Amino acid sequence: MPVLVNTFIQIYPNPMFIPPANTPGLIPQKFPFVMIDHLIYSDEHSSRTQFCVKADNILVEDGEFSAAGLVENIAQTAAARAGYLAQTLEKPDAIGYIGAIKNLEVFSLPQINDILETEVTIDNQIFDVTLISGKIKRGDELLAQCQIKVFVIQQP
């Protein structure tokens, strides 16, 4: 693992802004199941995305973005980070599967047109298992947080 950390330091000497046009290609999900708009920051420890909740979103129920949507938003933020890293290192994309979600806390559900900022932090990475913590905010208000265990399968 030290080589990977050193690689990140070389790639991410400073916080990075990723142009919005590149964001859709970073994740495997496609419309109508895309729950992030922009990867706005990524470094060796964390990544952040923004997402505007739209009325026609498949996970909006009665004008609110559902708890399932919040979890998917955190997972897609982690996927965008992995996709950005793969692109930067010119490696094939890996496929990630959610193995477990724990300590999910939803404090408030976002409304239509709310802009969410989601941050994922890498807690630990052992072989092909990555443990992340995710937080979703609307401005300064914490809406939800959880930990996700992701199993990664490398593509040839």
Instruction: Count how many domains the chain has.
Output: 1
pLDDT digits over 96-151, tens only? 889 999 999 999 999 999 999 999 999 998 988 999 999 999 999 999 999 999 98
Alpha carbon 14 to its chain centroid, in Å, reads 19
The range of the structural domain enclosing residue 136 comes to 2-153
Among the listed residues 116, 126, 117, the one whose alpha carbon sits nearest the alpha carbon of residue 152: 126
DSSP per position, 45-61 = SEEEEEEE--TT-TTEE
- The CATH number for 84's domain is 3.10.129.10
Q: How far apart are CA 15 and CA 23, in angstroms?
A: 16
User: Do the Cβ atoms of 81 and 120 come closer than 8 Å?
Assistant: yes
